[in-house]
Amino acid sequence: MYRQRLTLPALTLTALTLLPLAVACGNEKGGGTGSSSVGADTEPSVTGVHWTVDSVTVNGTTHPAPDGAHVEIAKDGRATGNYGCNSFHSTATFKGDRITLSRTLSTEMACEKRPMEFEASLARALAAGPLTAEAGQGKLTLTTTEGDRVHLTEKKDAPLYGTKWTVNSLVGGDVAQSLPAAADGKAWLTFTKKSGDKEAGDKKGANKKGADKETGTVSGSLGCNRVSAKATVRGSHITLGAPRTTRQMCSGSLMTAEKSLLKLFDSTVSYRIDHRAITLTSENGEGIGAMADR
């Protein structure tokens, strides 16, 4: 559950929500509200980018960020992310190259084997006042008036083709549930494009209407049995052919998960990629969520 905090004590974690800010410096580009850029010369955009938090430098000492710490910056100024344990979202206002946070919301979990001290250090750095932003060549630095810095790197979305997508959830409408424990890490899919076809247009599944179709295959594991089928990508949809599978019998929970995955085949599903996550959703709202293997 998210809770709103109006104060920022020394060790509060909600200060981390300063990270996901849309930065404006110089003239805005494009027509979107809040779309902004940084730098007088190259003006690289910081919106619509998945920024991985690399480290925070406080009082001259650099602390590496935990895996999973990232920032998503929307063009309208809304931002979401995760700083290694807790999730967050916030709103920002801008003046020149300075950033001011408002309406901060965050989760309040304590994670085992996660550097909670890092979150506290990052919170103190980002709550110190307006931040100066510098961006360029896939890097973003947010600097406090005291000289402490947050270092971030742009990360591209995983490609649809050639990625091993490990299934981690079953989706039904607005509800997602984890795979049975027995199937954890055992179900995966990889899409392969037919040689000579053009690359899929937009990895987020937002190809231009009328885009040429791309034929290929999908193969992988259903958790118990291997599977393969034809896969034709057009726009934001993938038409999966009739599945060809092995005939091994496994435990009840594995077979239950497998039946759910098989429902996606011999039909057309919509797909969307968000950084290293993909969702495949059928017309009735059922589908899967999966993560790209590193």
The partner residues of 180 in beta bridges, in order of sequence, read none
Q: What is the largest CA-CA distance in the chain?
A: 64
Q: Average pLDDT in the 20-39 region?
A: 36
| Residue range 186-220, pLDDT digits in tens | 999 999 998 765 544 444 444 444 457 899 999 99
Q: Give CA separation, 214 vs 120, 209, 217, 230, in Å.
A: 47, 14, 10, 11
- How high is the pLDDT of residue 235? 92
Q: Is residue 244 within 8 Å of 237, Cβ to Cβ?
A: no
Mean pLDDT, residues 247-268 taken together: 91
Query: Mean pLDDT of all residues in the chain?
Result: 76
Per-residue pLDDT at 113: 64
Does residue 233 or residue 5 have the better pLDDT? 233
Q: What are the Cα distances from residue 247, in Å, to 34, 190, 224, 227?
A: 54, 20, 9, 10
pLDDT of residue 48: 80
Q: 3-class SS at 120? A: helix
What amino acid is encoded at 218 in this protein? V
Q: Are 145 and 152 in contact (CB under 8 A)?
A: no
- Highest mean predicted confidence (pLDDT) among 17-21, 86-90, 141-145, 238-242: 238-242
How confident is the model over 133-170, as pLDDT tens digits?
888 888 988 888 889 898 989 988 899 999 999 998 88
Assess whether pLDDT exceeds 70 at residue 4.
no
Q: How far apart are CA 269 and CA 195, in angstroms?
A: 23
Q: What is the pTM of this model?
A: 0.63
Q: How far apart are CA 250 and CA 187, in angstroms?
A: 13
Backbone angles phi, psi at 262, to 5 degrees: -65, -25
- The model's confidence at residue 104, banded by pLDDT at 50, 70 and 90, is low
pLDDT, residue 25, reads 36
Instruction: Give the Cα separation of 145 and 132 in Å (integer).
Output: 8
pLDDT tens per residue across span 34-73: 333 343 322 346 778 888 999 999 889 999 998 878 877 7
pLDDT at 15 over 90: no
The first and second tokens of residue 156, run together, are: 């591209």
Among the ranges 12-16, 37-41, 86-90, which has the highest mean pLDDT value? 86-90
Question: 69 and 87 in contact (C-beta within 8 Å)?
Answer: no
Q: What's the pLDDT at 269?
A: 96
At 110-121, the pLDDT tens digits run 776 667 888 877
For residue 197 the two structure tokens come to 């076809």
